[in-house]
Amino acid sequence: MNLNPHDLPEALNIAEVFLYRRAALTPNAPALYFEDHVVTYAQVADATDRATAVYKKLGLELEQRVLLMLPDVPQFASAWFAAVKAGGTVCAVNPDQKPDEAAYYLNYTRAKIAVVDASVVPTLDAIRAQCPHLKHVLVVSGPVGTHLDYDAQLRAATPDPTFAPTHRDDTAVWLFTSGSTGFPKAAVHKQHDFVFNALTFALPILQYTEKDVCISVPRLAFGYALGTNLLFPFLAGASTVLFKEKATPEKLFALISKHRPTFFTAVPTSLNNILHAPGIAQADLKSLRVTISAGEALPAELYEKWKAKTGVEILDGIGSAEMFHIFITNRLGDVKLGSLGRVVDGYEAKICDDDGRTLPTGDIGTLWVRGDSMAVEYWQQHDKSKATFRGDWCVSADKFRQDEAGYFYYCGRGDDMLKVGGKWLSPLEVENHLLKHPAVREAAVVAFKDKDGLEKPKAYVALHPNHTANETLAQALQAHVREGLSAFKAPRQVVFIDALPRSDRGKVLKGQLRE
């Protein structure tokens, strides 16, 4: 049955859409590559049926949350799909959580069941008394202690092929925001949100096929990779490479050589690290046909270097936890350098002032977007929900401008924008220009108050090897910006650091730099 994104059936379960339709069509086709194992679609479906039975035996009821704290392993797929197949709501976070963070997620979600990597067990044992809602812990890939062994439970279970009678508007998934201030909050998503984006963005624009092999730097716990490295390829019958380890250039070179992926999901930082890695000269990246970038701004210089090395365009775009996935993007054969591309068919976007009035073309303002993958709310954040979700529109925290041809340009987060001498300054513009200097590996620009209490730009700069941080270089970087941009945009201070602070999603933590 073909699905119409604008008229989805009322009875809808995303496990059936993204996994079981493909398992019925090509049961023996490879779905996952992990270490030396190949997992077929039939095997993923069988594991999901067994996990469904285990969840039900443990008392999972409709709409109850299941929390995953797993790396990118095959068990992530079965645990994730089984939660929604059984009618629960699945939440996923990176397994590398500190005790207070793990306790926060367990109490915030009120999850009765958690599926975790063995590395998480000591943390859970230390905080268990603080988490009254948690009843059962299923452990993957290692010693289970006093908890349940996920794989052993699945082996002993009788597969349950039934789907919960879920509605297209039932809650299915919580996606966590990046948490730039305080703990991350959850954007609450419905079943149909994921199908809508897959049918409007993923299949028509990224053009997945059964022959594609996908690999990702971001982890499946994040909505970005959940889409591009699990849901979208499964819908098309493609296969995915999973790995537990950190996505270092060396690890990626080895996996790309072994599996010859065609799709590469990345963020600009990872692309930059790859291009400057010692092994790049010998790396064979010719299998790639699509490189996807999101999560932070893509400098034009980085795009040019990547295309020169691989011959592959980078499709830079913007998505969010609030909208599930990408809604503005460049396209194959239609990349406008420096822009994030055009709005995806099925979505609408506009640039507004602080009062919600649409601004003239070319003016910088706040990005508003609407489309049928928008979250319902932030869980337990009523005031923030009202400020962000206004009718059909999602009001972002990002500043953009749009040109006459309909291409969108990211100017920075609203709280990142500087006003210097009465003029707006986009930190991104200065950062991109600094990256053109041969000494600069990465840069971030934030505001500081000068001796007169006026806002001025300050640059934090990490250097390439064989360059020395000193006052002479700082002055050279300031002159470099003045030569290429208006003089008021040049940083008044340059601070050299080893590396920019980043979140687990790879985003620069500018709040730390301001402090």
**154-179 pLDDT, tens digit each:** 999 999 999 999 999 999 999 998 65
What's the pLDDT score for residue 502?
A: 87
For 29: left if phi > 0, alpha if psi spans -120 to 50, otherwise beta; the answer is beta
Contact 411/401 with Cβ under 8 angstroms?
yes
Task: Report how far Cα 465 is from the mean position of its chain's Cα atoms.
Answer: 29
* 251 and 129 inside one domain: no
pTM, full prediction: 0.85
Is the Cβ–Cβ distance between 188 and 5 less than 8 Å? Answer: no
Do the Cβ atoms of 340 and 369 come closer than 8 Å?
no
Same domain? 206 vs 342: yes
Tell me, yes or no, whether 500 lies in a domain.
yes
Examine the pLDDT at 180 and tell me if it is beyond 50. no
Mean pLDDT (whole number) for 225-237 = 98
Residue 238 near residue 198, CB atoms below 8 Å: no
If asked whether residues 177 and 249 sit together in one domain, one would say no
CATH of the domain at 150: 3.40.50.12780
Count of beta carbons in the 10 Å neighbourhood of residue 108: 20
Q: Would you state the structure tokens that stand for residue 23, as one six-digit string?
A: 């398992």
Q: What is the pLDDT of residues 235-257, one digit of tens each?
A: 999 999 999 999 999 999 999 99
- Residue at 30: amino acid letter: P
C-alpha distance from residue 227 to each of 276, 316, 459, 483 (Å): 28, 15, 34, 42
Q: Tokens in use for 363? A: 């003016």
φ, ψ at 258 (rounded to 5°): -75, -45
Domain with 201 in it: 197-347+400-413
In a domain? residue 226? yes
How many domains are there within the chain?
3
Residues 404 and 489 grouped into a single domain? no
**pLDDT at 494 > cutoff 70:** yes
Residues 178 and 202 both lie in one domain: no
**E runs forming strands in 118-207:** 136-140, 148-149, 171-176, 186-190
Q: Same structural domain for residues 219 and 187?
A: no
In this structure, the answer to whether residues 270 and 408 fall within a common structural domain is yes
Supply φ then ψ for residue 320, to 5 degrees: -160, 160
Average pLDDT over residues 91-101: 93
User: How would residue 199 be classed by pLDDT, with cut points 50, 70 and 90?
Assistant: very high
pLDDT grade for 46, boundaries at 50, 70 and 90: very high
- The more confidently predicted of residues 323 and 397 is 323
Lowest mean pLDDT among 80-89, 276-285, 409-418: 409-418
Half-sphere exposure of 282 (CA within 13 A, CB side): 8
Of residues 424 and 132, the one with the higher pLDDT is 132
Residue 331: per-residue pLDDT: 96
pLDDT at 178: 67
**Once rounded to an integer, what is the mean pLDDT over residues 177-205?**
89
344-378 residue pLDDT tens: 999 999 999 989 999 999 998 999 999 999 999 99
Q: Give, as one character, the DSSP assignment of residue 159.
A: P
Instruction: Report which DSSP code applies to 199.
Output: I
DSSP string for residues in 69-80: E--SSHHHHHHH
Q: What is the mean pLDDT of residues 270-275?
A: 90
> Running DSSP on this structure, what letter comes out for residue 41?
H
The bridge status of strand 89-92 relative to strand 171-176 is: parallel
179 or 410, higher pLDDT: 410
181: pLDDT strictly greater than 60? no
**Closest residue by Cα to residue 271 from 287, 247, 255, 289:** 247
pLDDT at 321 exceeding the cut of 90: yes
Classify the phi-psi angles of 422: left when phi > 0, otherwise alpha if psi is within -120 to 50, otherwise beta.
left
pLDDT of 420: 75
DSSP string for residues in 167-185: BTTSEEEEEE---SSSS--
- Give the CATH number, domain containing residue 431: 3.30.300.30
Backbone angles phi, psi at 480, to 5 degrees: -60, -45
Mean pLDDT, residues 268-296? 91
Q: What is the β-pairing status of strands 418-420 and 423-425?
A: antiparallel
- In the block, which residue shows the tokens 């010693």? 143
The verdict on residue 371 lying in a domain is no
Residue 421, pLDDT > 90, answer no
Chosen domain end from 378, 413, 448:
413
My answer on whether 439 and 407 are in the same domain is: no
**Mean pLDDT, the chain, as a whole number?**
93
What's the confidence (pLDDT) of residue 272? 86
What is the β-pairing status of strands 30-34 and 37-40?
Answer: antiparallel
* 231 & 338 share domain: yes
Is 367 contained in some domain? no
- Provide mean pLDDT across the span 419-447: 85
Looking at 362, 391, 413, which one is the last position of a domain? Answer: 413
Share of the chain above pLDDT 90, in %: 82
Do 452 and 507 lie in a common domain? yes
* 301, 384, 415 from 431: Cα distances, Å: 11, 30, 16
Residue 433 lies in a domain: yes
Is residue 182 over pLDDT 70? Answer: no
* pLDDT, average across residues 416-445: 83
How many other β-carbons are positioned within 10 Å of the β-carbon of residue 308? 9
Q: Is the pLDDT at 507 greater than 50, yes or no?
A: yes
Q: Are residues 208 and 137 in the same domain?
A: no
Q: How far is residue 338's CA from residue 300's CA, in Å, rounded to a whole number?
A: 6
Give, for 56, the enclosing helix (H) or strand (E).
helix 41-57
- Regarding whether 241 and 334 lie in a shared domain, the answer is yes
